[in-house]
Amino acid sequence: MSGRVLVGVKRVIDYAVKIRVKPDNTGVVTDGVKHSMNPFCEIAVEEAVKLKEKKLIKEVVAVSCGPQQSQETIRTALAMGADRGIHVDVSGKDYENLGPLQVSKILAALAKQEDAQLILLGKQAIDDDCNQTGQMTAALLDWPQGTFASEVSLEGDKINLVREIDGGLEHIKINTPAVITADLRLNTPRYATLPNIMDSLMNNETELHKPNHRTSLCVGLIPLFETVAPEDMQGGTDRSGAMLRHTVLQSGKPKRIILSCLCI
Amino acid sequence: TIIQRKQKKPRKTGRRTKPPEEPDSGRGFHLPQLKEFQKVAFDFAANEMAPHMAEWDQKEIFPVETMRKAAQLGFGGIYVQPDVGGSGLSRLDTSIIFEALSTGCVSTTAYISIHNMCAWMIDSYGNKEQREKFCPDLCSMEKFASYCLTEPGSGSDAASLLTSAQRKGDHYILNGSKAFISGGGDTDVYVVMCRTGGKGPKGISFGKKEKKVGWNSQPTRAVIFEDCAVPVANRLGEEGQGFNIAMKGLNGGRINIASCSLGAAHASVQLARDHLLVRKQFGETLSNNQFLQFKLAEMATKLVASRLLIREAAQALQEDRPDAVAICSMAKLFATDECFNICNQALQMHGGYGYLKDYAVQQFVRDIRVHQILEGTNEVMRMIISRNLLSES
């Protein structure tokens, strides 16, 4: 199988950041907060670049849907070894309403436009944890899907896949073109090297796309009512009396018991 | 997955399809690249260095494998020319990279910066044979380097060094000893400043490994030369040019060391902030205490001020401005002093916990204390700056 791989990369709040809910409960604070590429998307990019290094595919195209800053995410993909980037410009209200269904429609349209043989995505994003985009994209294209992949190997025009599922590991064989979503153990993403960063950013361009009517984003299908933080932990009941009595009964001698405070 | 460094092809300058989109901010066109460099360095520091920082310090491990991984990413010869295996980046890029790496381990990053300085000296002042012989291995960290200037009798007064090199045919015979050499005994290439035309028994040997307060992930030893024969082909530059080359190397070295202090201060401010948000006394978190709030604000302000001065110095050095030496000295003086105070304050904010080796903040304090001393003491920095000011006509 030769040809083009589309890799979806999403710009999300960095995994190490402490998330704070906005005071008006309409969402989480994103302004000024460190963002980076979704970790599962990094794994997808790494897999695509590895396939290219094995000469099983010809070109890796990184795609991101979002505002201007999404270009940073695409640049990271380029620095890791992607050949080309496509930034689908979605901002403002459209961006707030952007969800898996809309992204899937965009990816499906791009896949046809770019004549892609394979779409590689992360299994889910760490901000919304939807785990839907890969599956929806495959359905829209009527392509087979291999989700939660922990091993991918190409065999002619078929793909051997090992999936991590609740029951264990599932081995499947699917036809191409196909959609694959990457799970944690698929690979360990490489660091971009300094020369790669320089070469890629000098020589690779990122195209800008504006979504057209067919990939309409105007309607947000899932209304968001409220975002709240989980409740603070409440203190436990003081059972020191009960514990002390129990221990005395067991050993016949009173023991000094130090109960540590579990919540601060 | 680590990428093997392939033999570098010369970059095809004609192939650029598009001019860079970012507007010229007066700092060069590559702002997006800078962010990517910083990202790689931060990621590397967090994943490959920070988890081992305490162990390297306690067991005094020289982390060869980790440094070689860093070299594979291009950190072995950051401002060395690409034709001999370097990354060909600017001083500003370098400062940003070392600042980020330092958040993972100051001592190791400081050694990497010394190694870079040596590689650069050979790259800049070496002839074709010397560059091709030494630089590729140094850039890949196949070989490690040490910079040998200080002697038992000449520290701040570097020009009074005594190690002699007497010409005998096609060799120089070196005699003398160097003190406090970072990496000494564990490194492969020694860039030695010595005096030709002076007086002159077997080779090179090393003193005992010093026990230090910090910088424990790199060994420090005296380097002793007894009738040590070094081929004339290994002389960098001309006779009499050595002091100049040594000082030029130090300008960059000072920015690098100051950048390492920045990284430590940055990490310490984050640690202090996290602690203030968690630790409770008198019924509320420490972050509600106004004195601590103000203290944290001062720390952050001094950090940003230090950072700006260092980056300005990096630019000045890159552009070879006439004030470069003075401003590099200012940056080193200011940043190392302020960043030490920041780390020290961060330790204080941790209370008793700050004094325990379980907490990283004490290692940052110990590791950057020496930055006020080496690569020219902060007193010598004042000498350089005042001399520059007073000599202006």
**Residues A154-188: tens digit of each pLDDT:** 998 999 999 999 999 999 999 999 999 999 999 99
Query: Looking at the complex, does the CB of residue B18 fall below 8 Å from at least one CB of chain A?
Result: yes
Chain B neighbors of A233, CB-CB under 8 A: none
Q: Chain B contacts of A190, Cβ < 8 Å? A: 1-3
Alpha-carbon gap, residue B63 to A191, rounded angstroms: 19
d(CA B1, CA B62): 23
Determine whether the interchain pair A194/B78 forms a contact, defined as Cβ–Cβ distance below 8 Å: yes
Q: Is residue B140 classed as helix, strand or coil in its secondary structure? A: coil
Residue B351 touches chain A, beta carbons under 8 Å: no
Q: Which residue numbers of B are catalytic?
A: 375
CATH number for the domain spanning B173: value is 2.40.110.10
Following CA atoms B69, B70, B76, B79 in sequence, which dihedral angle do they give, to the nearest 10 degrees? Answer: 150
Asked if residue B135 and residue B45 are part of one domain, the reply reads: yes
Task: Indicate yes or no: CB of A203 within 8 angstroms of CB of B33.
Answer: no
ipTM of the complex: 0.74
**Residues B353 and B248 placed together within one structural domain of the fold:** yes
Domain boundary at B93, B121, B144, which?
Answer: B144
CB contact under 8 A, B74 and A205: no
Domain-embedded: residue B266: yes
Q: What are phi and psi of B323, to 5 degrees?
A: -90, 10
Closest CA to B110 of B49, B170, B173, B188: B49
A197 to B40: CB separation less than 8 angstroms, yes or no: yes
Report CA-CA distances (Å) from B388 to A95, B251, B332, B382: 55, 15, 15, 10
Residue environment code for A202-226, b if the CB has 16+ CB neighbours within 10 A, otherwise e: bebebeebebeeebebeeeeeeeee
Q: What is the tens place of the pLDDT at every residue in A184-221?
A: 999 999 998 898 888 877 766 677 776 654 455 545 56
Say which DSSP state A182 is in: E
Residue bearing tokens 């967090």: B46
pLDDT tens across B13-48, in order?
333 223 333 333 334 446 778 888 999 999 999 999
Alpha helices in chain B (DSSP H): 31-44, 53-59, 64-70, 91-102, 106-125, 128-139, 242-278, 290-318, 324-349, 361-369, 378-390
Asked whether the CA dihedral B14, B16, B18, B23 is positive or negative, the reply is negative
Which residues of A fall within a CB distance of 8 Å from B280? 264
Q: Which residue in the set A36, A193, A205 is minimally distant from B3, CB to CB?
A: A193
- Residue B225 sits in the same domain as residue B265: no
pTM (two decimals): 0.80
Please check whether residues B334 and B375 belong to one and the same domain: yes
Mean pLDDT of A22-33: 90
| Number of Cβ atoms within 10 Å of the Cβ of A55 | 8
Q: Sheet containing A59-66: which strands, arranged edge to edge? A: A168-175, A158-165, A145-155, A178-182, A116-122, A4-8, A59-66, A84-89, A206-209
Most B-contacting residue of A43, A186, A190, A197 (CB-CB within 10 A), to test interface: A197
CATH match for A4-209 among 2.60.40.10, 3.30.365.10, 3.40.50.12780, 3.40.50.620: 3.40.50.620
Give the mean pLDDT of B196-205. 57
Please give the residue of chain A at the shortest CA–CA distance from B20.
Answer: A202
Give the DSSP letter string of B20-47: --S---SS-S-HHHHHHHHHHHHHHIII
- What pLDDT score does B27 carry? 42
Tell me the residues of A at the B interface, defined by beta carbons under 8 Å apart.
36, 46, 50, 72, 75-76, 79, 187-199, 201-205, 264
Distance CA B316, CA B294 (A): 33
